[in-house]
Structure formats: C-alpha cells, structure tokens
Amino acid sequence: MDAQSTARVVILGAGLAALTAALRLAPRPVLLISPDPLGTGASSAWAQGGMAAAMDQADHPANHAADTVAAGAGLVDRNVADFVTAEAPEHIRELTRIGAPFDRTAEGGYVLSREAAHGFARVVRVKGDQAGAGITRTLIAAVRATPSVQIAEGWLALGLHLEAGRVAGVRLMRSEGSAPFLLKTPAVLLAAGGAGGLYALTTNPARIRGQALGLAARAGAMIADAEFVQFHPTALDCGEDPAPLATEALRGEGAHLINRLGERFMLALHPDAELAPRDIVARAIYAQAQAGLRPMLDTRACLGARILSEFPIVATACLRNGVDPATAPIPVAAAAHYHMGGVATDAVGQSSLPGLWVAGESASTGLHGANRLASNGLLEAVVFAARAASSIHATLPPVAEVPPVDLPAPSLAPGATTLPDPGLVQKLRRAMTEGAGMVRTGAGLRQCLGTIAAIEAAQPDCEALLNMTATATLIAAAALKREESRGAHFRSDFPESLGPEGQRSRMTLTEARALRPALQESL
C-alpha cells in the first residue's frame, strides 16, 4: 500500500462538527476529508429543527440541562449536560457573528421554537426548517476562506492506522472506489456521522451507514451506548429513500397526529401528547402503522397555507409526493434518524485510543443518554468540536506552515472491487430493521447477529462493508445485552425499565462479535 506523511491534523467528515473543528484549529494546518462535495452528504445539512440553547431571558441553561437529563431516561451524564447547555448560548452568538442566518424578531432577538420534551421555546431556527442547511453553508464559506484548511472532496476513510497503540494515520480511497493508500498524521478527528442508513427506512443521507463508528471500533476503540438508535416519529411515508423529514417544529407549532379514522391517538398515551419524548411518539406511530391505521401529521388547523412559506423543505417534499399539506394531512412513519451511541469520549472528545478525537454523531459523550432531546444534536456537535480542537492544540506541538497533501490519482487493479456489494447492503438494512429496529426481542437480535456475520463473510475483504457490519454488530449486541426497555431501546420481552437510573453500556467490537452465533446462517 502506498503511503505518505503529513503534519496536518486529519479531520474525517464534513458536517457541523468537522467544519467547526477545522475553524477552531486554525491556524494549525488541517486536511478535511469528505466523501462528497461539502454541503451535500452530511446529516447536519439536512437537520430541520434547529439548535437548542437557552436564549430567552425567562429560560436558563439549568432548565435546558434538566430537560436533557429527563429526556435521556436515566443515562445522561449530568456534568456533560451542564457544561454543554451552559456553553450553548455563546455558540449561537459565535455562529451569528460569522454569518449564520438565524431567524430574528423585529426587535433583534432570536425566533425560538418549542420542540418535544423542552420546557421552554429554545430552538433557534433558520427559515423555519432550514437550520442545518443555513448553518452548514455559513461554516463551509468560512472554512473555504481559511488558508490553513485543505479540503479533499471525494475521498472516503476505510480504517485507522495504529503504531504502538496510538492512532497514527488513516487508510483512504476514492469515494467511487480505488486502491487504498495510507496517510500518516499526528492526530485524527473523527466527525463522519451516524448510523441511520443501516436501517431500511431512514432520514439520513444515503452514505451515512455507520462507517465512522465502525472504523474506530475495528481499530479497538471503546464504544458506548450503541443500542440506542433514535427513530424520528415523523418521516414522510412516501417511498423515498432516504425518507424526507417532517420537522418536530411542526408539532411545536400545534400540528396534531391523527390516524385514518381521524383520532388523535397521542392524547391517551402521554400528558404532552404530540410533544412527548421522541421514543414514545415514535413507538405510537409504529403501533398505528402496524395496526393498519395509517398515521398522519395534520398541520391544516395550526398552519394552513403558511406551511408553504414557513416550512418550505417539508412542503416541497410533500408536494413532490402528491400531498398538499395545506389541505390534507401528511402520511408519516417512524424512521431511523439519530444514533445516541458512538465512540466513547471524555469531556474534550478524546477516545480510548491515543491520537483519536471524536465529535458529532459518531461520538458518545454522555449528553444524550437513552433518548436525545430534540435539537441537541447540532449543539453537541459544535460544543465538542470546539473542545476537541482545544485539546488537540494542547496535545500537539506547534507547527510551522505545512504543504498541502498531494493526494494520489485513483487506481484500481483490473477485476478488483473496493466497494460494498449493493445487494449485501440491502440485506444488512433489512436485517437491522427486522431484528434491531423499533421493537426488539432476544430471538430477533440473535437472528440479526447471525445475518450480519453471514453478510460480513460474503465480502470479507471489503473494508467499507466491514465498517458497516462492525457498527451493526455493536448495535445488535448491545441491544441483546440490555435486558430492559429504556428510552429509544425497547425490548418487548423485557418491557419494563430496571429503575429510573440506568448504566451506560460500554463494549468493544471483540466483545460484540463474541455474542454472534457460532453458526453463520447462509444468505
């Protein structure tokens, strides 16, 4: 394998965490690696709701922290919740200073939306449902104007290179497939997204299928809370892959969930009805769908035609699929949306592997617990990206100007393939949906683990597939070991929680693989 070395810090990813870290590391030279053109393939850019922060004078970060802890179902690290929510308002102000186009009132304040399980309206938005896209565009422009940042688009990370137990490089290939090469570096920041695409119905960009967590796990990193996958209650049930999202802010504006009989089914399930925690709403929608009752989101009374101008992304997706949300309810389904689990980190984003920092959805910081509070995802990304950048600065010696990395031209031996078999990926997504989805059982999880092992054995030399199957194995194995229901993790064979306070799970890939059946099923 060809190899070269650089003094640049390598950042894997192109969402809010990666972009924020690149700016915070300046003037230290960095190489930002993205499989797709910036702004097109990261989940951050698709985020509709916004970024949570106590910006109202009547609110306080302590209230935000308390809501975060309550939503997390007994697994949130309170210290993490305290410092993240305390730092949140300054991050909003900093993003505003560099040009983030947050919605503002006539008096100059921020337009704040209330979302599920928040006690206050504290979600800062951009054009109603365009927060992720608006903030991402602002950060991309700033990153492209920063001389210390080299951007490599169209490159995919396959694995981490270790020397004496320390992460010392990353194996890369072209996104469309090529021979891999090794780039040695003094530090790697992993900020490359979640795992929603491991499921058949997801709101995540097509390429987000657990690869970031998987490549860290394959290198030996400790993984935390892998079993906790959040299903967004209101993805459009229209047959698109990925499924368009109907932002939670619609329910914050007063939209109701109804079924084909016109019944508001959430009223009997939770005092907060449509604004109950996401896991409760998602399971209710799943149950309605399983019963053939066709769940729908009704925005007609609260928004009417205003949805077309105030929530244009949702409205466009509806109209594209033959639904006019101003005059008809929107068919919805629960879809894999966010992974609370990830690479275990400390308070500054360091993983269990020296030389590897992690931020964004691929990290598990302790903020989200068993059930992420709405709009805390973007917040966590920027807070921990900034903290990881400060930690990298403090760990590495100063460097002078560093030349750009000369990335090699694509090359591929005749007949060789470095990309996953699409058929195997689809089988993996079906297996995860059936065995490790909304409602889980021990038997279903064991069958899922067997199928994952068989998929892995069918293309054993494909690192890109092995990263996906590693993450899938960790999710299913952690779910099998947690014999209770808590937050987003629901076991129908263990439907009760083991008490108000729980224990976070920690597991290596070696430990997870030990739970797979000895006999692999055939595909």
Domain with CATH 3.50.50.60 in the chain: 1-228+340-417
* pLDDT at position 415: 47
Domain with CATH 1.20.58.100 in the chain: 422-513
* pLDDT at position 431: 98
Q: Are 2 and 181 in contact (CB under 8 A)?
A: yes
CATH 3.40.50.300 corresponds to the domain 422-513: no
Q: How far apart are CA 227 and CA 216, in angstroms?
A: 17
**Reduced to 3 states, what is the DSSP secondary structure of residue 276?**
coil
* pLDDT at position 413: 56
Nearest to 61 by CA among 93, 91, 84: 84
Nearest to 405 by CA among 24, 62, 33: 33
* 447: CB partners within 8 A, 6+ apart: 431, 435, 521
* pLDDT at position 406: 94
Eight-class DSSP state of 5: E
- Whether 171 is catalytic is no
* 402: CB partners within 8 A, 6+ apart: 6, 7, 8, 29
Tokens of 359: 């931020």
Q: How far apart are CA 27 and CA 414, in angstroms?
A: 42
3-state secondary structure labels for all residues of 127-179: CCCCHHHHHHHHHHHHHHCCCCEEEEECEEEEEEEEECCEEEEEEEEECCCCC
- Residue of 24, 278, 283, 482 with catalytic role: 278
Q: How far apart are CA 13 and CA 386, in angstroms?
A: 15
Amino acid in the structure at residue 461: D
Tens of pLDDT, residue by residue, the chain (523 residues): 889 999 999 999 999 999 999 999 999 999 999 999 998 877 776 777 789 999 999 999 999 999 999 999 999 999 999 999 999 999 999 999 999 999 999 999 999 988 888 999 999 998 877 778 899 999 999 999 999 999 999 999 999 999 999 999 999 999 888 888 999 999 999 999 899 999 999 999 888 999 999 999 999 999 999 999 999 999 999 999 999 999 888 998 999 999 999 999 999 999 999 988 888 899 999 999 999 999 999 999 999 999 999 999 899 999 999 999 999 999 999 999 999 999 999 999 999 999 999 999 999 999 999 999 989 999 999 999 999 999 999 999 999 889 999 998 876 655 455 799 999 999 999 999 999 999 999 999 999 999 999 999 999 999 999 999 999 999 999 999 999 999 999 999 999 999 999 999 999 999 999 999 865 555 6
Nearest to 100 by CA among 12, 203, 205, 19: 19
Count of Cβ atoms closer than 10 Å to residue 290 Cβ: 10
Q: How many residues are present in the chain?
A: 523
Q: How far apart are CA 79 and CA 99, in angstroms?
A: 31
In the CATH scheme, what is the homologous superfamily, with its name and number, of domain 1-228+340-417? FAD/NAD(P)-binding domain (3.50.50.60)
* pLDDT at position 417: 55
Nearest to 310 by CA among 121, 129, 123: 129
**Reduced to 3 states, what is the DSSP secondary structure of residue 342?**
strand
Cis omega (within 30 of 0) for bond into 35: no
Q: How far apart are CA 79 and CA 77, in angstroms?
A: 6
Pairing of strands 330-339, 356-358: unpaired
CATH 3.90.700.10 corresponds to the domain 231-336: yes
Domain with CATH 3.90.700.10 in the chain: 231-336
Nearest to 380 by CA among 139, 20, 9, 31: 20
Q: How far apart are CA 360 and CA 516, in angstroms?
A: 28
**Reduced to 3 states, what is the DSSP secondary structure of residue 439?**
coil
